[in-house]
Chain A
Amino acid sequence: MTTPLGKDLLALEPLTPEQIRLILDTAEPFKEISERAIKKVPALRGSTIVNLFFEASTRTRVSFEFAEKRLSADTVNVAASGSSVSKGETLVDTARNLEAMRIDMVVIRHSASGAAQFLAERIESNVINAGDGTHEHPTQGLLDLLTLRDRFGSLEGRRVCICGDVLHSRVARSNIWGLKKLGAVVGVCGPRSLLPNAIADLGVEVFDRIEAAIEWAEALNVLRLQLERMQAGYIPSLREYNRVFGVTRERLERAPRDLLILHPGPMNRGVEIDSDVADGPHSVILDQVTNGVAVRMAVLYLLAGGAPELADAAKGGSDR
């Protein structure tokens, strides 16, 4: 079963710009479906999809569930426990069991980088990475791209800065790849202890201060700062983080232009972003959520493509 995207969506890094544009273009009409009274189309009727979440996540899982149900697929949620080392079934056995149940697609979120690829290599079903460790979160990257494209028209040459804990962020990595492939200029901003040592080799501008990033950027993607980072000693305190790196109204007011504000959620209000920014006029955070369902519908739709050798038979006027 080959489609323009292949069998799986594991990451944005290996995709071509054409593939990314195809997904975004496909997502556009899907937005309209969510505005209808009956938010359902029969495109994936009869497909079985498992949401295999090893990490708790309400918003991503719910977003995928809506995408699946609006395409009329049958969905099952599995909240699996821990890693292969701790209690419970190994990832390999989980994969084999899913295969035996003839599942069509698996949406997996896992705490280990590479887990989605691990699963995809071992089962025939389509696998969609909903976040693997600190590696990538491709659908989040795509919905960020769609949101920016809706506002900017084209991403070519646009300056987008990702702010926060890039070191531990799969959202940051997906954003970096996706933005660069669509021709945007990417920057990152955060304390050096939260940026990968080799960050400059990824082809991004590095800003040590948020003021410099705000001065430079046309859009900010503000990442969530996790409490664990303070506990692990990467930064001294959340308070200091907010004082030095927080995206606040005062800092934005000094910006030379109106910046779009994005955030993958959930927000730590008062840490990486202040409430009046998150709820302010330049925030597109809620658009991100809406676009998230459309993008996920587009991905599911594209991956569920049928056998290409039957394509020609189905073409040639017989569908009128």
Chain B
Amino acid sequence: MSARESAGARDQRADGNRESERRDQGTGNRGSGVRHVVLRGGRVLDPSQNLDAVGDLVVADDKVAAFETAAGASYGDDYELIDCSGLVVAPGFIDVHCHLREPGREDVETIATGARAAAVGGFTAVCAMPNTQPVTDNQAAVGFVLRQGQAANAARVHPIGAISLGQEGKSLAEFGEMVGAGAVAVSDDGRPVASAHLMRTALEYARTFGIPVADHCEEPTLAAGGAMNEGIVSARLGLKGIPAEAEEIMVIRDILLARRTGGHVHLCHMSTKGSIELIRWGKERGIRVTAEACPHHLSLTEDAVDGYNTNAKMNPPLRTAEDVAAVRDGVRDGTIDLVATDHAPHHYDEKEREFADAPNGIVGLETALAVVNTWLVKAGIIDLATLIDRMSVSPAATFNLPGGSLRRGSVADVTVFDATREWTVDPAKFVSKGRNSPYAGYTLLGRVMCTIVGGRIVHRATG
């Protein structure tokens, strides 16, 4: 990426962005940013329009203006030229499941640091889960998250509202008010919706607003006290296990309730072979079920916990090799609609504890592309077009969000990445405040080089 070009062009930025400010809801204060950008000579790969060709992607203001295949095309002085030769230019990645910890735990992440970490990871938009302190279960809280996201000036932040007040699983939160304030979905994630009656009601009520109900599938009595997958490793380590059935029982429950209610259920972080089979069953019958899988469930097994490694502890836990193979296959054939990170930062002190006492969760925004690329694309299970579909096109479609396409007139959310670049993961260098990653020291393939949100460059890789 040529710094010379960008340095010159940037100096010409005036405050011409104010106009686009008004038009762009959800992106807020643009501050200073280049108005026009040309991504030159990259491989533009956009599954939403079956496009896979080398050329220049032209961005004017905050929209995709054109795709130019003629070599050597020239552009005016008010265009910043970014050399993307050898790189992939894709619609911006969207993470529909991450935890930004604000309000309440600003010591481990803020919306600003999380949005910046997302940008580093190539995400132009994230959806923030509502298990904050206090829980984001009302319009004021949703508005707060939205505004903090806008102020961050990095990836877009779409709030998700709670299903139930306080996420206590007793009474519905005001879906309408929250959607009006900017919520794009509802979820009690962090916790399961234990009551089938509440889940049914939520699915029915959500239909009014056309939003998905995202469920963290965990049968609480089976999973209680569990610290890792129930199996041979938990037997050896003397840790209480969470059986696969704890997830699968809720998966089939939610699918059946979606059938009854006609609502849209979105199943979070699927991790077991049985879940994949059940989702296929549901989709075959035309039930409105969508599902996500996380990079760690596509790459690591329960063996990563050996030695009581708390950075391999999350919920749902890492499972067996058979489960990983099934989830990968689900991503391949579309049973799993999209990849989400479940980015869950925790303080070093909290993870530096006896295994059973350590909190669940790992960070994932900054390693997601590389993990999926290394374990799925490099391994030959999916191709890059499918990766981009699962990380951009499908999330946008599933949650009805702007982006997910580089068609002319689309909002200019673009991710530029080098699919051939190797790098070694060093959590100390993360932009996120969280350092709890199981990939520390791993050498992965695939690096985000540039992230553009609404035509503005929010991340540029150095080295």
Q: Do chains A and B touch in the complex (CB under 8 A)?
A: yes
Q: Which residues of A contact B (CB under 8 A)?
A: 13, 83-85, 90-92, 110, 112-115, 117-118, 132-136, 170, 173, 196-199, 201-202
Residue B353 at the chain A interface, CB threshold 8 Å:
yes
List the 7 closest A-B pairs by CB distance, nearest first: A135-B238, A114-B308, A112-B354, A134-B238, A113-B238, A196-B235, A198-B232
Residue B352 at the chain A interface, CB threshold 8 Å:
yes
Whether the Cβ atoms of B354 and A118 lie closer than 8 Å is: yes
| Pick from A92, A136, A201: contact of B235, CB under 8 Å | A201
Q: Which residues of B contact A (CB under 8 A)?
A: 230-232, 234-241, 243, 307-308, 349, 352-357
Whether the Cβ atoms of A90 and B353 lie closer than 8 Å is: yes
Measured CB to CB, the closest approach of chain A to B224, in angstroms, equals: 10
- Residues of chain A within 8 A of B352, CB atoms compared: 90, 92
| Pick from A85, A112, A201: contact of B355, CB under 8 Å | A112
Whether the Cβ atoms of A91 and B232 lie closer than 8 Å is: no
- Residues of chain A within 8 A of B241, CB atoms compared: 197
Whether the Cβ atoms of A197 and B353 lie closer than 8 Å is: no
Whether the Cβ atoms of B235 and A113 lie closer than 8 Å is: no
Task: Other than A92-B352, A198-B234, give 9 A-B pairs with Cβ distance below 8 A.
Answer: A13-B236, A114-B238, A114-B308, A117-B308, A118-B354, A132-B238, A133-B239, A173-B236, A173-B238
Whether the Cβ atoms of B353 and A133 lie closer than 8 Å is: no
Whether the Cβ atoms of A110 and B354 lie closer than 8 Å is: yes
Whether the Cβ atoms of B354 and A83 lie closer than 8 Å is: yes
Could you list 19 A-B pairs, sorted by A, with CB under 8 Å?
Answer: A13-B236, A91-B353, A92-B353, A112-B356, A112-B357, A113-B239, A113-B354, A114-B237, A114-B308, A117-B308, A118-B308, A118-B355, A134-B239, A134-B240, A135-B239, A196-B235, A197-B231, A198-B231, A202-B236
A112 to B349, CA, bound (A): 17
Which of chain B's residues has its CB closest to A54's CB?
A: B354
| Pick from B230, B232, B239, B356: contact of A202, CB under 8 Å | B232
- Residues of chain A within 8 A of B357, CB atoms compared: 83-85, 112
Whether the Cβ atoms of A197 and B355 lie closer than 8 Å is: no
- Residues of chain A within 8 A of B236, CB atoms compared: 13, 173, 202
| Pick from A90, A117, A133, A136: contact of B356, CB under 8 Å | A133
A112 to B355, CA, bound (A): 7
A259 to B32, CA, bound (A): 84
A135 to B237, CA, bound (A): 5
A196 to B240, CA, bound (A): 10
Which of chain B's residues has its CB closest to A91's CB?
A: B354
| Pick from B238, B349, B354: contact of A136, CB under 8 Å | B238
- Residues of chain A within 8 A of B230, CB atoms compared: 197-198
